[in-house]
Structure formats: structure tokens, C-alpha cells
């Protein structure tokens, strides 16, 4: 299954299947027989059963995580919305490729394959205060790059990003998709000062006025997003088509994912929130999506770092669910 237009992806999202009901029932039955008091493992129990349902296996193993980092450059960065210059995107891609970034260490620590997908870095998106950030063809190309980057054999997916200016894009998407004004969604990103935050907020407000007629999440992505956000959205959509569970990262990743949910209700049912970012509006975005984060460690790095850490939580949940003995197997009385 593939697509060559935004309407094509809309059709794929509309036709997407849900979790496996038999696996869900089997997982719930197994969870009730494990050698522990009912509910003693808290959210790990729910997390494991969610994973089982999407993998179609009541007793799965988790062995092949994939982390994909998408990189893109934003035209709006020329307006001074970041504490770092746009050339840092290219420099950080080289760092990813040489294994020197935080996400490289976290992927390695949790046994994840890591891929880096730079998206037309020499051509920033357009300044979205003047018009759409991308044409439909450009947005579709980035979505397709994300779609194609997913390894069909992976058993959990994390997507991350690098792109100077992309918290501005995420803030604009948050306001366009969920309502509110620019100040509700705009934060300091890479660490802009008060004057920088005021400028950034005014630019987000300009974008909201310019694109007040957004029709759905994919339209918002094309107008206000960036290539790396579209890449993440494409990968998350592909994972849904393959029933691969996804752990969402921070503010920017969640904004990209929200474009799918705001196109088709339930498009993110195969995802969990890996962590709560220190970027203030992330909490509001997660609340709007009904996602409760697994971790809250004050992270605001991006790259997929918080979600990669949460691979360990998911691995622990699945290991307990699939590896523990039942009361009958252990010869332990269940009361």
C-alpha cells in the first residue's frame, strides 16, 4: 500500500485496521494468571496488553526496536526564531551519522537499530507566514520518505527529529489543530531569551492568521509543518498499516503525530507517549490527544531521546508479561 497525494494517505488512514481482538483477549487472560497480585505491575500491565493487541500475539517478545531520526530545514528560521543558526541541522546530521549524539547512545543502550533520514536540507521549506511551508508534492515526498524508512520487521518504532526552527512549526500546528492563541503553544525551544520568545510568538500568530482556513491535519502539516515533521508522520502512518507499536517523543514529534489524528480519529491508537517534554505546551498537546506519558524527566532535546528511553519501559512490560510464570506453572496458590 502506497500513496501519491494527501488524499491517498487520507484513504489509507480511513482504511486502517485496529488491534487484534483475539490477542487482546488472550493477553488479558494471561495477565490475570501471572504470579502477582492483580494490578501489582500498574501501568506495565496495560502497556503489555496494548502491545500484545497490536502485535497480534498474546505472549510476544520485543527484540527489534527501530529509531529513525528525520532532519529538515525551515524557512521561518531566517526570521530569528531559534538560538541556533540553520546550519546546525546539517552539522547534527553528521553527528548522528558518526554516532556522537545522545540518541545514538540511547538507541545502542536499548538495542535499537538507528537510521538517519535527511530531507532536502539544502532547500528549506518556505516561510509559512507568507504562504504554505510546502507544496502538496513536497509534503507528499517527505511523507513517503517516512513511510519507506520503516523496517517492516521492527517490533516497536521511535521517530525523532532535527531541524532548527521546528518548535515554531510545532507551536503553529498545536494552535491550528487544537485551538487557542500563539502564546498558549509557543515556548523557548532551544533556549531563546525573552525578546526571542516574543518574536517567535508573533511569528506563530502571523502564521495562524495566514492559514486560518486549515481543513484537517494533513492540510495543516503541508502549510505549517516541515519535511522532518512530515517524515515522522509518514513513518507513524506506515507503522499503523503494519501494526507496529510506536512510542512518541516530545513536542515536535507529538505535533507531527497529531496531524494524523486530526485527519482521522483513532489514527494514533497504536501509539503511546514516551515522555513529557519540558517544552511547556507538550502537556496540553498530550492531554488533547488523551495520551499519558510514561516518563517525565525534564527532557527537551528531541532527536527521539525521551521515546528511546521509554523503549526500556516497554521492554520491561513485555518481558514481565511474557516471561513470568502463571500460578499454575509455578505451583503457587492464587488464593
Locus of grid cell 532535546: 301
Burial of 280 (0-12, 13-18, 19+ CB in 10 A): middle
DSSP class of residue 79 equals: G
- d(Cα 155, Cα 207) in Å, to the nearest integer? 38
* 335 and 327 Cβ atoms separated by less than 8 Å: no
Residue among 138, 228, 261, 303 flagged as catalytic: 303
DSSP class of residue 126 equals: P
Distance (Å) of CA 185 to CA 76, 113, 168: 17, 33, 9
Strand partners, 156: 65
Q: Left, alpha or beta for 42 (phi > 0: left; psi -120 to 50: alpha)?
A: left
Determine whether 303 is an active site residue.
yes
Residues near 335 by beta carbon (within 8 Å), at least 6 away in sequence: none
- d(Cα 58, Cα 60) in Å, to the nearest integer? 6
- Catalytic residues, by residue number, are 303
Amino acid at each position: 500500500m502506497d500513496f501519491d497525494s494527501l488524499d491517498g494517505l487520507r484513504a489509507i488512514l480511513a482504511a486502517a485496521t485496529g488491534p487484534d481482538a483475539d490477542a487482546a483477549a488472550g493477553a488479558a487472560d494471561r495477565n490475570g494468571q501471572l504470579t502477582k497480585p492483580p494490578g501489582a505491575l500498574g501501568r506495565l500491565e496495560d502497556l503489555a496488553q496494548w502491545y500484545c493487541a497490536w502485535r497480534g500475539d498474546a505472549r510476544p517478545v520485543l527484540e527489534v526496536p527501530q529509531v529513525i531520526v528525520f532532519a529538515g530545514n525551515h524557512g521561518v528560521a531566517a526570521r530569528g526564531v531559534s538560538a541556533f543558526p540553520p546550519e546546525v541541522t546539517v552539522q547534527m546530521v553528521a553527528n548522528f551519522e558518526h554516532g556522537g549524539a545522545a540518541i545514538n547512545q540511547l538507541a545502542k543502550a536499548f538495542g535499537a537499530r538507528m537510521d538517519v533520514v535527511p530531507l532536502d536540507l539544502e532547500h528549506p521549506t518556505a516561510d509559512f507566514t507568507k504562504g504554505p511551508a510546502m507544496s502538496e508534492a513536497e509534503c507528499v515526498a517527505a511523507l513517503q520518505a517516512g513511510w519507506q524508512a520503516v523496517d517492516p520487521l521492527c517490533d516497536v518504532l521511535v521517530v525523532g527529529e532535527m531541524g532548527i526552527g521546528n518548535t515554531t512549526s510545532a507551536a503553529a500546528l498545536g494552535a491550528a489543530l487544537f485551538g487557542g492563541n500563539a502564546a498558549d503553544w509557543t515556548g523557548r525551544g532551544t533556549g531563546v531569551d525573552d525578546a526571542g520568545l516574543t518574536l517567535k510568538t508573533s511569528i506563530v500568530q502571523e502564521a495562524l492568521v495566514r492559514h486560518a482556513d486549515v481543513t484537517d491535519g494533513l492540510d495543516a502539516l503541508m502549510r505549517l509543518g516541515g519535511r522532518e515533521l512530515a517524515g515522522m508522520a509518514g513513518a507513524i502512518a506506515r507503522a499503523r498499516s503494519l501494526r507496529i507499536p510506536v512510542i512518541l517523543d516530545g513536542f515536535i514529534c507529538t505535533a507531527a503525530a497529531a496531524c494524523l489524528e486530526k485527519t482521522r480519529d483513532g489514527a494514533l491508537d497504536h501509539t503511546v507517549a514516551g515522555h513529557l517534554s519540558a517544552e511547556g505546551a507538550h502537556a496540553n498537546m498530550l492531554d488533547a490527544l488523551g495520551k499519558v506519558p510514561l516518563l517525565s524527566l525534564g527532557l527537551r532535546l528531541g532527536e527521539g531521546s525521551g521515546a528511546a528511553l521509554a523503549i526500556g519501559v516497554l521492554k520491561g512490560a513485555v518481558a514481565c508479561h511474557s516471561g513470568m510464570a502463571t500460578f499454575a506453572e509455578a505451583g503457587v496458590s492464587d488464593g
